[in-house]
Structure 1
Amino acid sequence: MSFSRYESYKESGVEWLGEVPEHWDVRAIKHIVSIPITDGPHETPNFPDEGIPFVSAEAVSTGVIDFSKIRGFISESDHFRYSQKYLPQVGDIYMVKSGATTGITAIVEVDREFNIWSPLAAIRCGKRAIPRFILNFMRSKNFQEAVTLNWSFGTQQNIGMGVIENLAVTLPPIPEQQTIAAFLDRETAKIDALIAEQQRLIELLKEKRQSVISHAVTRGLNPNAPMKDSGIEWLGDVPEHWGLPKLKHFTRFVGGGTPSRDNLEYWNGDIPWVSPKDMKVEIINSAEEYITQTGLENSSSSLRPSGQVLMVVRSGILKHTIPVAITEVPVALNQDMKALSFTDGSCLNLFFMRWTQGLNALLLLAWAKQGATVESIEHTYLTETVIPLPPITEQQAIVAFLDRETAKLDTLTAEAKTAITLLQERRTALISAAVTGKIDVRGLVSAKPEVKAETVPC
């Protein structure tokens, strides 16, 4: 779709905004609101099991208010007290003003009782501004860049309400604001639908990948192979000629440790120090942090040779998955990791990694430590695990097969992610062009009443 431009432009007087259509106005946010910008209470309330929903940054991090991600519930009395300062209403705009999602916006689109916490700035438009037009302007690339330029850092990034209220917004005539908002609702809905299709494709590819791996490491590649009962309920039948040893009979487990943070001589060396945050890939050849030889010698960690299997055994990520990788270089580990090496040559590292990937959900249940304050794998459960082992030549064939098949699926997944990125960029560019007057969308859609907020943040 091609768009025309307005007939004439003028300087906005705002460096990050540039030119705007001649007949548009530009005002600071504080001049278009019906009440001063405010936020929620700066205290931590008690959170009973039920009550009034209490919304904070995590509930708006996707660009809409997600009541399934509220911080908790507050009592009727706390709600009444907080409402003396601010009471939400339909059409209010929230902007995250502190934390990793600073700048993300959402609009109140449901008439229900709730309240907000201090990380959210509440903006209520007056008669000069249409809430959904202002919402879109605040999602534009120009405004988001202005937020980035004006935030400050303490323990985390943040932007004060005094700064927010002085940031500029464009103000076309009200009918034009309505037209632009309606146009963006229509066009972004189309883009959102395409993004949703790509996201569904990614989920299907993920399920297909899991299924391919799971079948290969538990049933093998020969569909006609005779089967036997593994004796393990969650594993089921396996090929008759496969062994069923316990991990403890052929596996050595080595943990890690952390050198003292107080001693600078222990850090910024040349030894990769692997922690759960490095376990986002299947092959480890670097780490976010490095330690020195002195740091290694003065900690409970040790240098693990290349070719060993690395596994996360304690981390919040274990609620969802068990990260496993193979190291290509010698590494040290932190205390939340274990290195596995197979002592009798009966198991290939790559086969074990694929086996863990294929049975991830089942192993999470089998290995989970009960009653721990930190999510962790119980070492006894891990070592007692029975693993179906084909002969080495068959393991090699399975690994080669899975390398080929997962590479195909990973390529398709990468293409879908690239498509999503391009669509999101297109979405942001379209919003930015429309709300800053770089394109003229008058006549492309009739103004209409306000509709639901977008589901993808800018």
Structure 2
Amino acid sequence: MYRYDNYKDSGVEWLGEVPEHWEISSLGKILLPVSEKNHPDLPLLSITRELGVIERDIEDQESNHNFIPDDLSNYKVLKKGQFGMNKMKAWQGSYGVSNFTGIVSPAYYIFNFIKAVNPQFFHWAIRSKVYISFFGSASDGVRIGQWDLSKSRMKSIPFVIPSNDEQTAIAQYLDNKTAKIDRAIELEQQQIELLKERKQIVIQTAVTRGLDPNVSFKDSGVEWLGEVPEHWEVKKLKYVLELSNKKEESRNSNKRYIGMENVESFTGSLNEVILTAEGISNSFFKDEILFGKLRPYLAKSYLAEFDGICSTEFLVYKASKEIYNRFALNIFLSYGFIDTVNSSTYGSKMPRANSEFIANILLAIPPLSEQTAIAHYLDEQTAKIDRAIGIKLAQIDKLKEYKTVLINEVVTGKRRVVLN
């Protein structure tokens, strides 16, 4: 790693030493607040923590939680090359130099540059973790996630400025280097998706075709099952799984509570966090199966390892003597079953599964000994795939950490970019 020849104390604990020839300035000397309105015809922009300024997709309802008024004349103009900021979320890093011209919320801050600073260098530096920390100390508030930035305290936030040539070189270096890191992360994520797809194929095949490829098959007459082993029975879910409707008041219970957020999608696993709750909950007992009826495409199912209570967004099933509960859990996690359930949902924004529809879904039921063998096989196979996914996720975390450290070191002069 290259270092500069000489350093000086910046006088700021979070910045530490900086190259001796770099100027120590402040945002108040670099940025000038501006406010231009009455351009409702311009495209809508958003300012996000992850990407800075982006074009807003007004058709995507999932990503548009904020109300958009019919009259946009009061919205502020944010031009390409200007610095925009969501002042309520500046402490999270919701700001950046814009690559677009459009309009943003009237509550946002817009700035012009009044000092000779390369906008791309400024964007990399100000969005680095070290500078985001300053915005946290300059923000106040009591509402979680909504801390108001003090404009006067923002002006005093320090900012170190290299020479113009160095700014350009640093911006180009980070553009190139982070693009390579992002590509490596993308490749890891693609491999994770392939592993997840492989896992789903393994589960789907096992719960509909069994483990013996040489067995005789028959047409089940059910689209999601296809051909099943000839000796398997095809039965409605309600004949092998009993739906429980037991309720209890959460506040009067000393049992552990499971919310939808506590169950991982497509894994059958429970997160570490088990919360308490108020209101009416569903009761469940050890060895019963929880199936998430809210947004069933998320496949949130869990085989209970203790007695407890859960969100009423779960359907609770007790296995009959004809079905092994771990085999039933894998059916609930199979993509064919999930797709079938999802076809019955009602409600557009928060779709829920129809319990009566689920009760009549046809399942392929092997003999109990075969169910047990299939469940144990899937435990082993999915555990291997989950370990592989875990390794990929750890690699992604390391790449992200490396990217964060690299940016911090370069924009504060701890690492020198060699000029071409």
TM-score (norm 2): 0.87
Q: Percent identity?
A: 29
Map residues 220-235 of structure 1 onto 2, 5 A cutoff. 220-235=210-225
| Equivalent in 29, 33, 36 of residue 33 of structure 2 | 36
Map residues 190-269 of structure 1 onto 2, 5 A cutoff. 190-255=180-245, 259=249, 266=251
Cα deviations across residues 364-415 of structure 1 (Å, max 9, x unaligned)? 433313x466321111111111111111111111111111111111111111
Correspondence for 1:436: 412
| Equivalent in 271, 276, 280 of residue 255 of structure 2 | 271
State the one-letter code of the partner of 2:116. R
CA contact (8 A) 1:256 1:338 kept: no
| Equivalent in 373, 396, 404 of residue 420 of structure 1 | 396
1:367 and 2:367 aligned: no
In 2, the alpha carbon distance for the partners of 1:210 and 1:338 equals: 22
State the one-letter code of the partner of 1:182. Q
State the one-letter code of the partner of 2:256. P
Stretches of structure 2 lacking an aligned partner (at least 5 in a row):
none
CA contact (8 A) 2:46 2:56 kept: no
Q: CA deviation at 1:148?
A: 3.2
In 2, the alpha carbon distance for the partners of 1:233 and 1:198 equals: 34
The change in CA–CA distance for 1:255 and 1:7 in structure 2 (over 3 A counts) is farther
The change in CA–CA distance for 1:217 and 1:57 in structure 2 (over 3 A counts) is farther
TM-score (norm 1): 0.80
1:326 and 2:303 aligned: yes
Correspondence for 1:10: 8
Map residues 327-342 of structure 1 onto 2, 5 A cutoff. 327-342=304-319
Cα deviations across residues 340-384 of structure 1 (Å, max 9, x unaligned)? 1023x1111211121121125413433313x46632111111111
1:408 and 2:384 aligned: yes
Map residues 53-452 of structure 1 onto 2, 5 A cutoff. 53-57=43-47, 61-63=50-52, 65=54, 67-68=56-57, 71=64, 78-79=71-72, 81-82=73-74, 86-98=76-88, 102-110=92-100, 114-118=102-106, 120-157=108-145, 158-160=147-149, 162=151, 163-255=153-245, 259=249, 266=251, 270-280=254-264, 282-284=268-270, 288-290=274-276, 300-301=280-281, 303-314=283-294, 317-318=295-296, 320-343=297-320, 345-359=321-335, 361-369=338-346, 371=347, 374-443=350-419, 446=420
In 1, the alpha carbon distance for the partners of 2:215 and 2:55 equals: 50
In 1, the alpha carbon distance for the partners of 2:348 and 2:135 equals: 41
Q: CA deviation at 1:134?
A: 1.1
Stretches of structure 1 lacking an aligned partner (at least 5 in a row):
46-50, 261-265, 447-458
More strand by share: 2
CA contact (8 A) 1:247 1:384 kept: yes
Q: CA deviation at 1:54?
A: 2.5
CA contact (8 A) 1:205 1:413 kept: yes
State the one-letter code of the partner of 2:312. Q
Number of aligned residue pairs = 409
Q: CA deviation at 1:55?
A: 2.8
Cα deviations across residues 56-109 of structure 1 (Å, max 9, x unaligned)? 355x6344625446649968x944x236xx322222334444359821444422
Greater relative contact order (Cα < 8 A, sep 6+) = 1
1:26 and 2:6 aligned: no
User: CA RMSD for the aligned pairs?
Assistant: 3.0
State the one-letter code of the partner of 1:18. G
The change in CA–CA distance for 1:164 and 1:208 in structure 2 (over 3 A counts) is farther
State the one-letter code of the partner of 1:278. N
State the one-letter code of the partner of 1:321. L
